[in-house]
Amino acid sequence: MIDIHTHILHGVDDGPRTEEESLQMLKRAVKEGITEIISTSHALKPQFHVDYATVVKKLDNLRELIEHHDIPITLHTGQEVRLNNHIGNLLNDNQLHVLANSKYVLIELPSNIIPSYTNDLMTKLLIAGYTPIIAHPERNRAIAENPSRLEVLIRNGAFAQITAGSLSGHFGRKTQKFSLELIRANYVHTYGSDVHNLTTRPFHFEKGLRYLEKKKELDIVDILLENNRRIIDNQPLILLEPVELKRRGILK
């Protein structure tokens, strides 16, 4: 299985602090059945920006460590890019990482809003040959208040990534319920842990999948994991038709 959203590089953002912590996280990933990881350190976020070269250097060092410690996992470059009008230019100038050298780029919205320029930016990225994947939309307050805002982005060509901890209940029952509603409305296409550490922000990768299985969403589990693989292979993602929303953004 492939985890497309992780913070595993130590000492660069709000992920692990030490090399040893990074190694322990990767060992835990193997226990959860993860065989490949895309490292997605923060970029363009007000609190953190890990530059392009640092990602490459740190990930190369981590590859050497996992080989030395015989940890059976493959690492790929990537970043979680905070929404910014200059993303397209920065990608073209090789100042930001796409996911695993593919056409896909992981975009993080602000926590509470969807800026007015978001749709225009997504369109520009698509025209430039990049496909935006919106990170953890279930944790965006504006989308929680009106899920049709996410539907607009999807219908305009963006994809969405659900977080394992949201499905497992790590972020609370309300977020868990909303995450399942988004999935059942076909508003979610990929799956990632958004792991930061092994205590307050663990993987919950397997636990999130088990929750979906418990809710009889076996086909969705297959689609999410297949789409994760397709990102690595730089292939088109499986896209199911979004279900129309009813009044007040209530999903049925």
pLDDT average, residue stretch 245-249 = 46
* 41-87: pLDDT as tens digits: 999 999 999 999 999 999 999 999 999 999 999 999 999 999 999 99
CA-CA distance, 134 to 189, in Å (whole number)? 10
Angle between helices 218-232 and 205-214 (to 10 degrees): 140
pLDDT of 29-41, one tens digit each?
999 999 999 999 9
For residues 38 and 78, is the Cβ–Cβ distance under 8 A? yes
Q: Tens digits of per-residue pLDDT, 136-147?
A: 999 999 999 999
Residue 44: is it exposed, middle or buried by C-beta count within 10 angstroms (0-12/13-18/19+)?
A: buried
d(CA 182, CA 162): 9
Q: CA-CA distance, 126 to 229, in Å (whole number)?
A: 21
CATH number of the domain within which 140 lies: 3.20.20.140
Judged by DSSP in three states, 128 sits in coil
Q: Which residues contact 196 (CB under 8 A, 6 or more apart)?
A: 7, 14, 15, 16
Asked if residue 248 has pLDDT above 70, the reply is no
H or E stretch including 46? none
3-state DSSP call for residue 135?
A: strand
Domain range for 29 is 2-249
| Biggest distance spanned by C-alpha atoms of the chain | 56
Q: What is the pLDDT of residue 252?
A: 46
Q: What is the mean pLDDT of the chain?
A: 95
Tokens coding 171: 């972020």
How many domains does the structure of the chain reveal? 1
Quick one: 224 exposed, middle or buried, by C-beta within 10 A (0-12, 13-18, 19+)?
Answer: buried
Percentage of the residues of the chain whose pLDDT score is greater than 90: 95
Whether the pLDDT of residue 157 is over 70: the answer is: yes
> Phi and psi for 235 in degrees, rounded to 5?
-110, 160
pLDDT tens across 107-139, in order? 999 999 999 999 999 999 999 999 999 999 999
Query: What residues contact 3, with CB distance under 8 A and at least 6 apart?
Result: 29, 34, 36, 37, 38, 192, 193, 195, 203, 205, 228
The pTM for the full model equals: 0.95
What is the pLDDT, as a whole number, of residue 214? 96
